[in-house]
Structures are given as structure tokens and as C-alpha cells.
Amino acid sequence: MSGLRLGMTAEEVLGLFPGSSEDAEVRSDLSRPGPFGTSSFSITPDKYESKEKFAGINQITVRLLDGRVSNFRFGYNGPEFSHVDKFVAKFSEGKNLPADAWEPYVGMDNNLKMLKCADFEINVFAGGTGGNLNYVDIRDLEADKKLQERRRKAKEKATPESKPPEK
């Protein structure tokens, strides 16, 4: 998506949006790291010179793990699609993605499709009035595994082990 890739640093992402590194909101988000090596920030493409490259995208949420992009969520402000397949087709244009490998999300068959690859997953959602809830979510599956493992270890550490009763 116009130069954005999983594994980039925050600075590399911000470099695609001239002026974003001075944005007070972006800097504030980056100054507050989350638990387990996570952090996130949001970009509103319309605020920057490079907005033409991101036409139709109203917000990009970037999640990082250990300083590297592990997830992008692209929020769109339309158009409204009668079925998620039409959004998938539009999103896939010019990308080397298999057309027949998208799977519907059970219970949301008309709105959400998923594409699972070896290293990443893409979720495409079409919905909302005028398509105002449309999004594309791209995630690094290896980063997800690392984060889940860190959470599991933290939970184990926080849960005291049961000890046999003393006599």
C-alpha cells in the first residue's frame, strides 16, 4: 500500500507522510509505549502532502512490536459495497494476491473476508452507512505469536503456583 510494509520502523512509516513526525498527536502516541514491547499511532493521510497516494483512506492505525510494524489498519470512508467480495476485488487490484483464497468470516459472510498466508493475514471488512466502516487490516502472524507468548508468560508469572498444603 503505497510503500507501507510490515516490519518497517515508525520512522520509516512517518517518512512516507512528510510532516507527520512533527505531528503532536503522533509524537504523543509514540511516547507512550504499551506493555510487552507494543506501541501504536495513527496517521490521517489527508493532513499530509502524500495524501494522493492514500486516496480514499481516512485513517491508518499502525501497531508496532519491538519498534517494528506488526499491524496496519486502513480505515476507509466509503464507498458502500453491496458485498465484501466487491471490496476485496477493488483492494486486490494491482496486488499479487490470490483471488480464490479469501475465506468468509462465519456469521459475517457478506461483510468480512480473510486471506491467510504463511507470514501474514489480511482482513477486509465492508459495512456502515456509505461504507464509513470499511477497513483493511494487515497483520504479521509471527509478531502476533510473539505477543501472545509474552502475554501468556506474564499471566503465568502473575498467577501464583499452587503449593501443597503444609502439615
> Is the pLDDT assigned to residue 61 strictly greater than 90?
yes
Phi, psi angle pair for 69, to nearest 5° = -65, 125
Q: What pLDDT, on a 0 to 100 scale, did the predictor assign at position 39?
A: 94
Q: How far apart are CA 86 and CA 150, in angstroms?
A: 38
Q: How far apart are CA 47 and CA 94, in angstroms?
A: 26
Percent of the chain at pLDDT > 70 equals 95
Q: What pLDDT, on a 0 to 100 scale, did the predictor assign at position 34?
A: 85
Give residue-wise pLDDT tens across range 14-58. 999 999 999 999 989 988 888 899 999 999 999 998 888 888 899
Q: Mean pLDDT, to the nearest integer, of 72-83?
A: 94
Contact in structure between 88 and 94 (CB atoms under 8 Å) = no
- Show the DSSP H helices in 50-159 as ranges: 84-92, 141-158
Q: Where are the domains of the chain?
A: 10-153
| CA distance to 24, 41, 62, 69, 73, per residue, from 28 (Å) | 6, 9, 14, 18, 19
Q: What pLDDT, on a 0 to 100 scale, did the predictor assign at position 113?
A: 97
| Strand residues in 16-165 grouped as ranges (E) | 38-43, 57-65, 68-76, 103-104, 112-116, 120-125, 135-140
pTM of the model: 0.87
Give the three-state DSSP class for 61.
Answer: strand
Q: What is the mean pLDDT of the chain?
A: 91
Q: Mean pLDDT, to the nearest integer, of 136-164?
A: 87
Q: What pLDDT, on a 0 to 100 scale, did the predictor assign at position 94?
A: 87
Q: How confident is the model at residue 79 (pLDDT cuts 50, 70, 90)?
A: very high
* Cβ-defined contacts of 160-166 (< 8 Å, 24+): none
Q: What pLDDT, on a 0 to 100 scale, did the predictor assign at position 38?
A: 94
Query: In this structure, what C-alpha cell is assigned to residue 122?
Result: 489480511
